[in-house]
Amino acid sequence: MKMRKINLFVIQLFFLFVFNISAQSTDQPKLVVGIVVDQMRFTDLYRYQQFFSDNGFKKLISNGSNFVNAHYNYIPTNTGPGHASIYTGTTPYFHGIINNDFYDRLTKRFVNCVQDDEMQTIGSNGDEGKKSPKNLFATTITDALKLFTNQKSKVISISIKDRGAILPAGHLADGVFWYNTKNGEFISSSYYLNDLPQWVKEFNKKNIAEKFLSSDWNLLLDAKAYEINSPDESEFEPDFFNEGKKSFPHSFKNLKQEEKFEKLSFTPFVHDMLIELAKSAIINEQLGKNSVPDFLAISFSSTDLIGHMWGNYSYELMDTYLRLDRQIGELINFLDKEIGKGNYLLFLTSDHGAIETPGYLKKNKIPTGEIGTSKVSDSLKAFAKRKFGSESLIENYSSGSIYFNRAFIEQNNLDYKKVEEEFSIYLRNTFPEIQKIGRRSFLENQSPSRENSDLILNGWNPIKSADILFTLRPGYLYRFMERGTTHGSSYTYDTHIPLIFYGWKIPKQTVNDKVYIIDIAPTISTLLKITQPNSSFGIALIK
C-alpha cells in the first residue's frame, strides 16, 4: 500500500513536470525569424498577387496580422537607416545610422554606415569584411534578447548586403554572414568571429554561385503574365548583361569574369543561396532547439538592386518577386517541419519603398526633376564667398545635407544662427525644387516622436547630421535617373511598406490603422516578454 502511494506520487510529479515543460515551451516561441525585403513597396504584395503561390506571401497575408498602413516616420528612407530602425525600434535621431554613407566630420570623408577599418575579413583575403556595428548607437531587438537570456539565445543574421546582415544582428550576434561580390561566397567580420563556422565553409565549397552563372535567367511564368508591366525591351532599362538587348532571357556569357559574381547579385538566384544558407544555419546552429528563443534575421537584397537597375514595373523585378514568393514558401515549409507549426514567430517588412522610374514619369508628364548635386554645391560656395568672404565656410554638401566649417565660423567670429538663417533664406529663394528646410539650431531643441510629422527631425542625429538639411518636392530627386528607380524621400512611394506578423500566437487580422516601422521591435519584445531595445519609442501592435 505504501509502495502504491509512492508510485502514485511519482506519477503525479512526472505529469506535473511534463505540464510545466509544455507550458514553458508555449510561453515563448522557439525561434523568431525576421525577414526584410529590400525596397519592397506595399503595393508589390498585391500587384502580383494573382501570380503568387499559396505557400508564400498569400499564406502570410491570409494567416497572419497584416498591417496595411505601415510607414517610415523619418527621412532618408534608405537601406542602412531602414534596417537599423526595424531592429532598434527607434529612428536615426537615436540609433545614429543617418544614411547608407555619410560625411564624417572627424575624418572629413564619407564612410559606409557599417565600415570599420579596424576589423578584418573572415572568409576572404579582401577588405569586404572590414565592417562592424560600431556606428549603431542603440541596441537592437536581437541585442535585447541576448541580454535578457544572459547570452543563451543564439542570433544569426544573413543577407546579400553587408549592412542588411550587420544592422539587424546588433552588437552581440553569434554569426553574421553576407555575400561577397568578388567570389560568390559568404563572408563575415572579425568583430563576430575568428574563423567561419564549418557549416559556412561547407556551404561555400558547393560553389552555388558558379552553377547559377552557367545557366540563363529565364522567366518563371509565360511571358503573357508579365504584360502588366512596362515593355520588356524598354528605353528606361539598361543592357546590363552586355547582350545587345534588354529583354529576357538573360545570359551571363558576355560578362567579364571579374564582374560576374557582382552581377549575379542583380538576379533572384542569390536569394536561392540565402534560403539554403538559412536552412543550414537552422540545422547546424540548432536554432529553435534551445531552452530560450533564438533569432534568425534574413534580408533579401536583390529586389533593391534589381529595382534600381530596371525599375519597379519591369519584367525583371516582377520575376524576382514571383521567385521570392516561392522561396519564402520553401522557407516556411522548412520551418514547419524543422521547428514545428506554431512554434516560430515570423515578421516580414521592407527597409523602404521606391519611386516609379523618373524617366518614365517625365515622359508621361508627371511632375519630376532634379535639383542637381554639382549645381547646388557650386551655388552654395559662391554664396558663401559673396556673403561671408570664403568658400571655406562650406565644409561639405551632399544630397540635401550642408555641413558648415565650424572652425571657420569660430575663427571669423561669425554668428552661427545668422549663418544658418542666411543660407536658409538663400536656399528658399534660389531653388524652387526645395520643399522643406531643417536647421540645427531648431532641431537640437526638439524631441523626436512616433507620430511626428517632421520627418527631418526624426531622421536627424545631433552628433552625425548636417547643419542644414532640405527635402524636395514630390517626385523630385537630388540626381535625376532616366532608368531604374531610387528612394529616400518622405513621400508615400518611399514610406509605405508591407508589415506582416505570422506564426506563434499571431491572430489572423487585417489592420488599417497607421503604424510605424519603429513599432516592430517593441511588438516582438512584448510577445517575447523581454526588455525593449534601449532607445525604442514605438508601441506594441500585438499584445
3-class SS string, 60-111: HHHHCEEECCEECCCCCCCHHHHHHHHHHCCCHHHHCCCCCEEEECCCCEEE
What's the whole-number mean pLDDT along residues 262-277? Answer: 99
β-sheet bridge partners, residue 159: 178, 299
| Residues forming a β-bridge with 52 | none
Q: Is 471 a catalytic residue?
A: no
> How far apart, in whole angstroms, are the C-alpha atoms of residue 153 and residue 293?
6
Give the separation between CA 107 and CA 361, rounded to whole angstroms. Answer: 39
For residue 9, the model assigns a pLDDT of 43
Res. 6: pLDDT tops 80: no
Residues 203-235: pLDDT tens digits?
999 999 999 999 999 999 999 999 999 999 999
Mean pLDDT of 147-155: 98
pLDDT band at 1 (very low <50, low <70, confident <90, very high): very low
Rounded to an integer, what distance in angstroms lies between the CA atom of residue 53 and that of residue 499?
A: 19
Tell me the average pLDDT across 152-161: 99
Mean pLDDT on 132-140: 99
pLDDT of residue 16: 40
Q: Is the pTM of this model over 0.85?
A: yes
The CATH architecture that domain 372-432+434-472 belongs to is 2-Layer Sandwich (3.30)
Kindly name the residue from 77, 79, 90, 320 that is annotated as catalytic.
79
Question: What does the block give as the cell for 23?
Answer: 507550458
| pLDDT for residue 326 is more than 90 | yes
Peptide bond before 76: cis, by omega within 30 degrees of 0?
yes
**331-335: average pLDDT:** 99
Band of pLDDT at residue 480, cut at 50, 70 and 90: confident
pLDDT digits (tens, 9 = 90+) for 32-64: 999 999 999 999 999 999 999 999 999 999 999
| Domain range annotation of the chain | 35-362+488-528, 372-432+434-472
DSSP 115: B
Other CB atoms within 10 Å distance of the CB of residue 400: 25
pLDDT at 481: 84
Q: How far apart are CA 503 and CA 527, in angstroms?
A: 12
Phi then psi dihedrals of residue 300, to 5 deg:
-90, 110
Q: What is the dihedral of CA 215, 216, 221, 222, to 10 degrees?
A: -130
Cα–Cα distance for residue pair 429/286, rounded to 1 Å: 61
| Assigned CATH class of 35-362+488-528 | alpha beta
- The pLDDT, as a whole number, for residue 26 is 61
The single-letter DSSP state of residue 432 is T
